[in-house]
Structure 1
Amino acid sequence: MVSASGTAFARDVLVRDPAQFKAAVKAAQPGDTILLADGEWRDFQAVFTGAGVADKPITLAAQTKGKVVLTGQSNLRLGGRHLVVSGLVFRDGFSPTGEVISFRRDSKQVATDSRLTEVVIDGFSKPDRRAEDIWVALYGTGNRVDHSHFEGKTNAGVTLAVIRPKGQPGANSHRIDHNYFGPRPPLGSNGGETIRIGTSEESLTDSKTIVERNIFDRCSGEVEIVSVKAGGNILRDNLILRSQGAFVLRHGNGNLVERNVFLGHGIADTGGVRVINRDQIVRDNYFEGLAGSSFKSAITVMNGVPNSVINRYHQVANARIEGNSIVDSARITLAAGADAERSAAPVGSRFERNLIVGAKGRDPFRAEGDASGIAMAGNVAASVDKPLFSSGIVYREIELERAANGLLYPVDPALASVGAPRDLVPVKREEVGVRWYGATGSGAAFGSGRTISVAPGALADAVAGASAGDTLSLATGTHDVATPLAVQSRLTIAGAPGAKPMLRLGGTGLARIAAGGGLRLENLDIDARGVRGDAVLIAVEAGVAPNYELAFHGVTVTGPGKDAGLAGVRVAPSTFADAITISQSRFADMDIVVDGTGEQEPKGWYPAERLTIEKSEFVRVAMVADLLRKGTDESTFGPWFAMRDSRVAESGGDAPSLRVTGAQHVKIAQNHFTQSSGVEVIHTVGAPDTKIVRNRFTATPAPRIGETMWKGAPRGTVADNQVEGQP
């Protein structure tokens, strides 16, 4: 179990169980390496402590990189100095505590001058998305996290956090470099940052943490991809791909954001850098294809709160935004968030030598308040009609071409000194993360597996035996469903081509979505007239893996009556759908079709990122949908609600036939409501974008927009609707 390695004083110690590991840790000396034997280490709560020296650290490593997998309820705590952890994988489980890897053993013993390298954490998320943890918690000073792979966090809490406890204001001097931060889907609440440095309590002191040459790929947990809540930090040479949100200088002064490349590819809510506080520098960055606006703009300079308390918004002062290229991007927002509370406009700041080419030939500049405290000088922008600024920006025709580094630069050599530098070298995928790990992914897509023919009487067995991505192709005939089907993987149930199957329900519903389930129904007739009690067509149970999907396409549902209690979709608290989609379908004689009111937490949780209804019909239903997002937090992208080209008839009652509360994006267009109760959209927080346009309301009240926080006239666009024969 012990072999010589290097000098006579250094040992490699291979351990095969927790007891051997504990003994090896106790005996470890500088230069020693403790090797975890290849295989699965289940429910392993490892404590790795020791006192190495700079040239002889104590190392904890995998016997073979990538072949040591910590599963179940596992975690790792480090304490001491000059420790190294390498080659481990955390997968198929979650931490039983608030941290997966912690750079402290306890509050009295932190890790200093230690390193986490070539480590993978993949989908190691608590099953309840509201249960918070941190995947990597950096305490102490002088630590490094590098060449590691983090992806698939779906529960609340930061992926990697620099912890600065209250009363410990000293600089941390950590380095976070060459890591792959892979897809983090929307959380549906505040608390989904990929990196956070500090907290508001000690934010007016310096952390001096460096975040450099990492890739952030589809890191879209919330509006803050990186949240800086301390001073003196450097964010440089990072590549941000298709990530919704922004790098946010939320608290703290004197931070530097330089030479980063943000590529949004036109995806909604992709942003760049948001500036708050004093002495911030944003320079030599490249922004392309960013579609975000307001707080998620390519560049956002916030308004502050006069005499702000430490955890609100300090006034922007002495900001320097210089030498950046903002190309094919939707928005640059100045004095963002200006309102009765955030009334302190930016002062003493400069916006210089930037190159600006707005998306679709439009002027990207918006000022939500007084922007006179931001001096413009030496900027060049593509010509637009009616530009916001008349000085400090030269408007002209700009021709761009891609350079060898893949970025766009002006062809005219006279513009060589404007915008991002020509020597930017975007970090490549092979430079970051680990080379020996193939990610398992988030589950098979609908229709990606086998197609299995199902005769009447065989549906329940077919569901039980199906794998993720399979399609169950139903033959003509009546398929009886006496009890709800347990769907634990992503499945499609569809009528076979040319077939006319009928699903006849006799119990309390069609399906229960459990574990990692998701369901697409296609080309089916569902007879739900025989359901019993408070039935639900598709019930999403607590504990379902977040970011599941539901879809109806070409489905007809006939229920027992709108007062009989049948719901179409009902989601349990703590669950979260990427998308619920209804297209070319018909629902008749039932209660509510989509019940999205189960999430009652005041923090801002909501049940689905996107709810889309198109080309569908609803007849004699109590409600088409009731979608609810509570709370006042502004850190989410959604919900998104869209309903278009659909018909609602003889529906509603005391409540509206359609109600959407707290959504950030609503579009209700080209629908016909007849002999129904009204449409109600209620704004709660943020800057909601609501459009109710080109609808027809026959014997139905006109649509209503309500405001719970905003003190002015209701926001949104209500236009080109026909209201006739109101009841």
Structure 2
Amino acid sequence: MRLLFVPLLAAALVVVPGPAASAAQIRVTSLPALQSAMDKANPGDTIVLADGSYSAGSTLSIKRSGTGSAPVTIAAEHTGKATITGSKTFSFAGGVHNVVLQGFKFRNGAALSVPAGASHNRLSRNDFQLTGDGNWVSVNGDDTEVDHNVFQNRTSQGVFLQILGPSDAMAQNVHVHHNYFYNHQFSGDNGGESIRLGLSNHQSYSAHAVVENNLFEKADGDIEAISVKSSDNVIRYNTIRDSKGYIVLRHGNRSTVEGNVLFGSGIRFHGNDHKIVNNYVANSGGRAIVFGSGDEADSGPTSKLHDRPDRDTVAYNTLIGSSSVIDGDGGNFKPKDCVVADNIVKGSSGTLVTLPSGSTVKYEGNITFGGTAGIPSRNVDPKLVKDAAGLYRLASGSPAIDAGTGSYPYAAKDFDLQARTSPFDVGADEYFASGTTRVPLTKADVGPAAS
């Protein structure tokens, strides 16, 4: 006989009812009772763990699946009020699908993993601050959603969130959004990324992941806050501030980096056929956009070397720095058949675009100001004005208005997500006398408490 839990749950917990004959809301007050309830769960059931701190000495196994319209939900009764400590954590069985794990505070030593073969599962509104090393959360299952979590306060090597898959493929269609990545302070040279999307030996596999609307602050565990090592991904609308970590397309091809707002950070890329469009990057030290070094012409499927940038497009971005605002890392294999078009590049001294000699890059429609251009461009004041959110936008009368020269239909929405009118304005911002303007993400927009 099921124990029905009648009182309303916290607002962050959304219960999708299953068939009337089977769906239930079940409240438990111990981990053994939680395991028992999970072992009997039916589609549409919601199991909530009462507020408190619980030491997990054995694995909490999730073996029962829901459906697309009636997931199994395993949740803290109130978001952030049920804390998991101890040496173990939840474990998704292979093949489990349509399960939501929601609202827990993880202060335990074991990493959480969604295995290959498990699909359409969701990690939502959790707080991860683990005591163990390694990768804290690993996603290897297709169609996993990771949203409204916080990953915070780490000093050891390893990543907050690893997305990979089976040995011969990438997890497909993983969606990572509205998470808060905060304070990764690993002091080593490598291996402290906030998100790692793939590995070098997975670079040729398409993932079709979307990483969007996440906030990164103090992402200092690695020079790569988001490290992409797979193909065909979208990294968009994220905010990075107060961090040394960049968005980096380290391995793989055909990814899009779009509409991100970066302060003191930047975008670096290797590989082929990437689109870097509509981003706002303000880096007082320069190097807002970096064409990565080429140690080989084209990486093999298991190579760990740096692939030459080929046929990559950098268009309709607003880039603000000092000198070398668009830069290159060199290497024996220089950027080849790339495009830098219709960007605003504003500096304060020196040469603004400093790609290595021997690069083959098409330049068109760029506006440079505040230093020596270093490329064919219109060297003219773009008339940027700072808005209330600290973003420099086009002012009325800017020479950037209606000045776009190239045809780049994938840049048809500016970084405010407003439809551009032809001819497009140069830079990330399409000028409108009035309308909705975007602001950088803050803590209120992401994490467990956000709407």
User: Could you say which TM-score interval applies, normalised by the shorter chain?
Assistant: 0.7 to 0.9
For residues 250-275 of structure 1, give each alpha carbon's deviation from its aligned partner in whole angstroms, at most 9, with x where no partner exists: 111100000000012xxxxxx31111
| Partner SS, residue 336 of structure 2 | coil
Aligned counterpart in structure 1 of residue 71 of structure 2, from 54, 57, 71: 57
The residue number in structure 2 matching 1:530 is none
Q: More displaced, 13-22 or 278-287?
A: 13-22
Residue 181 of structure 1 contacts residue 215 of structure 1 at CA under 8 Å; is this kept in 2? yes
Aligned counterpart in structure 2 of residue 88 of structure 1, from 91, 94, 104: 104
Letter in 2 for 1:349: C
Q: 1: CA distance between counterparts of 2:104 and 2:158?
A: 22
Is 1:394 matched up with 2:387? Answer: no
Is 1:318 matched up with 2:288? Answer: no
Please state how far the C-alpha of 1:432 moved relative to its aligned partner: 0.7
The 5-angstrom pairing of residues 64-463 of structure 1 reads 64-79=78-93, 80-91=96-107, 93-95=108-110, 100-104=111-115, 110-122=117-129, 124-126=130-132, 132-167=133-168, 169=169, 172-264=172-264, 271-291=265-285, 297-307=287-297, 308-309=299-300, 310-338=303-331, 343-358=332-347, 360-371=348-359, 373-384=360-371, 386-389=372-375, 391=376, 393-403=377-387, 405-411=389-395, 412-416=397-401, 417-422=425-430, 423-435=437-449
Change (3 A) 1:102 1:330: farther
Q: 2: CA distance between counterparts of 1:204 and 1:395?
A: 40
Q: 2: CA distance between counterparts of 1:333 and 1:361?
A: 13
Q: 2: CA distance between counterparts of 1:363 and 1:351?
A: 16
Residue 35 of structure 1 contacts residue 62 of structure 1 at CA under 8 Å; is this kept in 2? yes
For residues 570-592 of structure 1, give each alpha carbon's deviation from its aligned partner in whole angstroms, at most 9, with x where no partner exists: xxxxxxxxxxxxxxxxxxxxxxx
Change (3 A) 1:125 1:329: farther
| Partner SS, residue 21 of structure 1 | helix
Residue 208 of structure 1 contacts residue 231 of structure 1 at CA under 8 Å; is this kept in 2? yes
For residues 54-88 of structure 1, give each alpha carbon's deviation from its aligned partner in whole angstroms, at most 9, with x where no partner exists: 11100110122211011232322223000001110
Q: 1: CA distance between counterparts of 2:211 and 2:157?
A: 22
Letter in 2 for 1:365: V
| Partner SS, residue 13 of structure 1 | strand
For residues 469-492 of structure 1, give each alpha carbon's deviation from its aligned partner in whole angstroms, at most 9, with x where no partner exists: xxxxxxxxxxxxxxxxxxxxxxxx
Q: 2: CA distance between counterparts of 1:290 and 1:354?
A: 17
Letter in 2 for 1:286: Y
| Partner SS, residue 20 of structure 1 | helix
Q: Give the number of the structure whose alpha-carbon radius of gyration is greater.
A: 1
Q: More displaced, 14-23 or 52-61?
A: 14-23
The residue number in structure 1 matching 2:23 is 10
Change (3 A) 1:410 1:144: same
Q: 2: CA distance between counterparts of 1:329 and 1:155?
A: 33
The 5-angstrom pairing of residues 16-27 of structure 1 reads 16-27=29-40
Change (3 A) 1:77 1:110: farther
The 5-angstrom pairing of residues 665-684 of structure 1 reads none
Letter in 2 for 1:345: K
Please state how far the C-alpha of 1:383 moved relative to its aligned partner: 4.0
The residue number in structure 1 matching 2:434 is none
**Unmatched 5+ stretches in structure 2:** 7-16, 402-424, 431-436
Residue 195 of structure 2 contacts residue 226 of structure 2 at CA under 8 Å; is this kept in 1? yes
Letter in 1 for 2:197: I
Q: 1: CA distance between counterparts of 2:141 and 2:126?
A: 20
Residue 284 of structure 1 contacts residue 420 of structure 1 at CA under 8 Å; is this kept in 2? yes
Q: 2: CA distance between counterparts of 1:330 and 1:428?
A: 29
Change (3 A) 1:179 1:23: same
Q: 2: CA distance between counterparts of 1:53 and 1:34?
A: 16
| Partner SS, residue 2 of structure 1 | coil
CA RMSD of aligned residues (A): 2.1
Letter in 1 for 2:32: A
Change (3 A) 1:9 1:280: same
Residue 272 of structure 1 contacts residue 290 of structure 1 at CA under 8 Å; is this kept in 2? no
Q: 2: CA distance between counterparts of 1:331 and 1:221?
A: 24
Residue 106 of structure 2 contacts residue 127 of structure 2 at CA under 8 Å; is this kept in 1? yes
Residue 84 of structure 1 contacts residue 114 of structure 1 at CA under 8 Å; is this kept in 2? yes
For residues 578-614 of structure 1, give each alpha carbon's deviation from its aligned partner in whole angstroms, at most 9, with x where no partner exists: xxxxxxxxxxxxxxxxxxxxxxxxxxxxxxxxxxxxx
Change (3 A) 1:170 1:248: closer
Change (3 A) 1:154 1:40: same
Please state how far the C-alpha of 1:199 moved relative to its aligned partner: 1.0
What TM-score results when the alignment is normalised by the length of structure 2? Answer: 0.84
Percentage of pairs with the same residue = 28
Please state how far the C-alpha of 1:290 moved relative to its aligned partner: 4.0
Residue 237 of structure 2 contacts residue 260 of structure 2 at CA under 8 Å; is this kept in 1? yes
The residue number in structure 1 matching 2:10 is none
Q: 1: CA distance between counterparts of 2:146 and 2:248?
A: 21
More strand as a share of residues: 1
Please state how far the C-alpha of 1:368 moved relative to its aligned partner: 3.8
Please state how far the C-alpha of 1:369 moved relative to its aligned partner: 4.1
Letter in 1 for 2:446: V
Residue 39 of structure 1 contacts residue 68 of structure 1 at CA under 8 Å; is this kept in 2? yes
Letter in 2 for 1:283: V
Letter in 2 for 1:353: D
For residues 100-149 of structure 1, give each alpha carbon's deviation from its aligned partner in whole angstroms, at most 9, with x where no partner exists: 22112xxxx64210111110013x233xxxxx411111111011011111
Q: 1: CA distance between counterparts of 2:370 and 2:151?
A: 42
Q: 2: CA distance between counterparts of 1:413 and 1:337?
A: 34
For residues 521-567 of structure 1, give each alpha carbon's deviation from its aligned partner in whole angstroms, at most 9, with x where no partner exists: xxxxxxxxxxxxxxxxxxxxxxxxxxxxxxxxxxxxxxxxxxxxxxx
Please state how far the C-alpha of 1:313 moved relative to its aligned partner: 1.6
Letter in 1 for 2:283: G
Letter in 1 for 2:71: P
Residue 383 of structure 2 contacts residue 398 of structure 2 at CA under 8 Å; is this kept in 1? no
For residues 321-353 of structure 1, give each alpha carbon's deviation from its aligned partner in whole angstroms, at most 9, with x where no partner exists: 000011134433544142xxxx11111110000
Letter in 1 for 2:280: Y
Letter in 2 for 1:23: S
Change (3 A) 1:111 1:223: same
Q: 2: CA distance between counterparts of 1:179 and 1:329?
A: 31
For residues 629-669 of structure 1, give each alpha carbon's deviation from its aligned partner in whole angstroms, at most 9, with x where no partner exists: xxxxxxxxxxxxxxxxxxxxxxxxxxxxxxxxxxxxxxxxx
